[in-house]
Every structure is written in C-alpha cells, then in structure tokens.
Amino acid sequence: MELKHFNIRVYAIILNKSKNAVLVSDEYQRNMRMTKFPGGGMKLGEGTLDCLRREAIEEFGQEINIISHFYTTDFFLKAFFYENMQLISIYYVADFKEPLKFKISILPFDFGENENGKQSFRWIKIKNIDSSVFTLPIDQKVGEMIVNWKI
C-alpha cells in the first residue's frame, strides 16, 4: 500500500455537564451506520477552526464556540474508507453559542430509513462510553480519553 494523501478530519467534543454526557452523531454514510463525534473533513484552503465552524452550521444549523484543543492523532492511522490515505483527526472542546435549535434523540439512528447523509444526535453518558460506542478506531481512542478526563 502506497500512501498518497492525508485525510484531515476535525471534530467537536460537546459536553452536557448537567447530564455528564457528550454529544454524538449517529449517521448513515457510505452505506453503513456509524456513531461518531460531530464534525467532518477539512477542505483545501480551510483552517481547522474554520472547518469545525462550517461543519457545525452544516450539521447543527447553528454556531458553536470553540473552547480548546483536546487531541490530535499522534500515531499512524490509515484512513478507514480510503485505501491510499493517512488519517489525521483533530478534536476540539466546544459548546453552543445559543440554546439548541435541533432535535436531540434518545434512540440511536433516529432518522427512519437508511439513506446516505441521514443523521441524528444524542447525548451519551460519559460513564457509558466504551469501545463499542464508536464506529471508528480514532473516536474509540478519544472516547476513552474523555472517560479518563477530569471534567
């Protein structure tokens, strides 16, 4: 396998301190269900913070405050969906500038039929996070970091 590109992804860790929970995105992408942190791919010419602000508008329909950097991939990881790409994921702690304007689901994948691009959001209690919660290996690592983080 010859790597030819980087795939840079930027994600938000949004906490609900009163529920001791973190926001996750349940999505149907690439003909599969996945649970991950909200966010997505950085576009050429875009900085990481601008990417996350754009993704927030696209996914939530509202703006976020970016509070601090949390983690950047610090080991080699091949991109999950692309044969010849190396994945770099960057996570920021964030919150919302205004009260939530979108639906928070109780059930995973609360969007009806599987159709690429469908998405729903829910809070997961931090104490309930384990490797089975997240689909992608890098999110599993970050989930473990959140469990061990002193909030």
Strand 5-16, strand 85-96: pairing: parallel
Q: How confident is the model at residue 150 (pLDDT cuts 50, 70, 90)?
A: low
Bigger pLDDT: 151 or 32? Answer: 32
R_g (Cα) of the chain, nearest Å:
15
Interval 89-136: pLDDT, tens: 999 999 999 999 999 999 999 998 888 889 999 999 999 999 899 999
Interval 33-84: pLDDT, tens: 999 999 999 999 999 999 999 999 999 999 999 999 999 999 998 887 778 8
Contacts 24+ apart (CB under 8 A), 139-143: 139/11, 139/35, 139/36, 139/37, 139/89, 142/11, 142/13, 142/37, 142/70, 142/71, 142/89, 142/91
Element (H, E) at 128: none
Q: How confident is the model at residue 2 (pLDDT cuts 50, 70, 90)?
A: confident
Q: How confident is the model at residue 151 (pLDDT cuts 50, 70, 90)?
A: low
Question: What predicted TM-score, i.e. pTM, was given to this entire model?
Answer: 0.94
Record: fold of 5-148: Nucleoside Triphosphate Pyrophosphohydrolase (3.90.79)
pLDDT at 41: 95
